[in-house]
Amino acid sequence: TSSMNQSSLFGPTVANVWDASGRRKRGRKPRTGLTSGSNLPPAISAALGDAELYFINGNNEKAIEILSEVSAKAPKLSEPYSILAIIYEQSGDLMKALQLYALTATYTPKGESLHLWSKVAEIASELGELDQAIFALKRCISLSTSAQYYQDKIRIFLRQKNLNNAKATLTKLLTRFKHQEYFLVEYGNLALSVGYKDLAVDSYARYLFHLFGTQHVRPGMFPTIVDKNKLLPAKSNEYILEHVESMNEALYKAVDTLLDKQDSVVVALELIEMVGEWTLAMQAALPPDVNASQQYVPELPMLVAIMYSVCKLRLQVDSETDQAVKTLKTALQLVDQGELLPHLLQPPPADSSYGNEIGAEDNYSLEDLVPDLDALRQFTRTAIELAAVGINTRAQKLIAFVEK
């Protein structure tokens, strides 16, 4: 049983005040004392003042003694719970702090309690008291118009593996708030972290379809998320470029997950080809005087080509294998020439925008020089695939590149 439902050290317990639905219990109101800090009896006000001074001066033991007496006389007064919560939080006793913050929030006027319920949710989540965190987040949602609290609820529902509530809350997030589609990528990551691979892939794909539309998705692909009676339009190129990092992450993780299952390679190809077609069109549309590696995320075209090749090789179809090898060779030539990853193996010039962005002049870590370390991971996987189909020369060259 959680400590939130156990007997409190100070005044009534949270369970005495709130039922599981978050509404005040009906029936005769208990006569438990004062409910606000205004017009307090002089003795109470003086005691609170003394306790605050003891707390400020570091005499927590004396402060706790006085605050305990005050809470016994005025159990609905929030001030003593608030100070006690801070004392126990600072001392590292988060379980007591959690209970006391909950009591503080309960007895604080509704319009002033949002930050307190948010604190309760934060500590409860940290302690793994997930039901209490959900309870607190419901209070936050009732007091705020922020999408953040819906996102936090989703995170906790997925930690609980409560998929129905996670999906329902995600639907509310996307319908009640604008521009929240980016959260689909984190949703996929969370689903993947608790073992729900299919849910993760669906979430990544939903984000990609949000960007590129569903008009060109082949029949039967992604039947649970593509509504043929309500096709999504593609976003503008400018919009996609603004969200290119999230697009990268969604594509790589979806494909990486799908490649774990032989029967899902065709589905992975569907996503790769969708992004690849857009990438090629964007590259073709670049003015000749624009440096693509500075204008766009540089590894995107190369990794799309490499993942495409891996999928084609995995299918083991003769007519497709030749095309896959040709595509892969082209991608590796771009790597060799340094056209798409100019900063991969050497520091950028001191006056380059990339160097200024990093904020260093002499020392660069691998993370600085490689825009996306997933590139090296994909190279390794591709080398394994090449070796499996007997293309050993290219496989060895790729492994040497990764080792370097």
Q: Which amino acid is at 31?
A: R
State the residue for tokens 């370097």. 404
Q: What is the pLDDT of residue 281?
A: 72
Confidence of residue 304 (pLDDT cuts 50, 70, 90): low
Name the average pLDDT for the chain: 75
The tokens describing 174, both together, are 């996307």
Looking at per-residue pLDDT, the higher value among 141 and 6 belongs to 141
Confidence of residue 262 (pLDDT cuts 50, 70, 90): low
Residues 334-350 have pLDDT tens digits of: 445 444 333 333 333 33
Q: What are phi and psi of 18, to 5 degrees?
A: -120, 140
The tokens describing 76, both together, are 């609905």
Looking at per-residue pLDDT, the higher value among 21 and 403 belongs to 403
Predicted confidence (pLDDT) at residue 98 exceeds the cutoff of 90: yes
Compute the radius of gyration of the chain from its Cα atoms. 29
Q: What is the pLDDT of residue 360?
A: 33
Could you tell me what percent of the chain has a pLDDT over 70? 59
From 49, 53, 108, 45, select the one nearest 82 (Cα to Cα): 108
Could you tell me what percent of the chain has a pLDDT over 90? 40
What is d(CA 68, CA 84) in angstroms, rounded to the nearest whole number? 9
Residues 49-81 have pLDDT tens digits of: 999 999 999 899 999 999 999 999 889 999 999
Predicted confidence (pLDDT) at residue 239 exceeds the cutoff of 80: yes
What is d(CA 356, CA 336) in angstroms, rounded to the nearest whole number? 25
* Length of the chain measured in residues: 404
Q: What is the pLDDT of residue 296?
A: 44
Q: What is the pLDDT of residue 231?
A: 87
Residues 353-395 have pLDDT tens digits of: 323 333 333 343 444 444 455 666 666 667 766 666 666 666 6
Looking at per-residue pLDDT, the higher value among 194 and 261 belongs to 194
Predicted confidence (pLDDT) at residue 21 exceeds the cutoff of 70: no
Looking at per-residue pLDDT, the higher value among 350 and 104 belongs to 104
Predicted confidence (pLDDT) at residue 280 exceeds the cutoff of 80: no
Confidence of residue 351 (pLDDT cuts 50, 70, 90): very low
What is d(CA 371, CA 181) in angstroms, rounded to the nearest whole number? 24
From 21, 286, 9, select the one nearest 135 (Cα to Cα): 21
Across 105-116, average pLDDT: 94
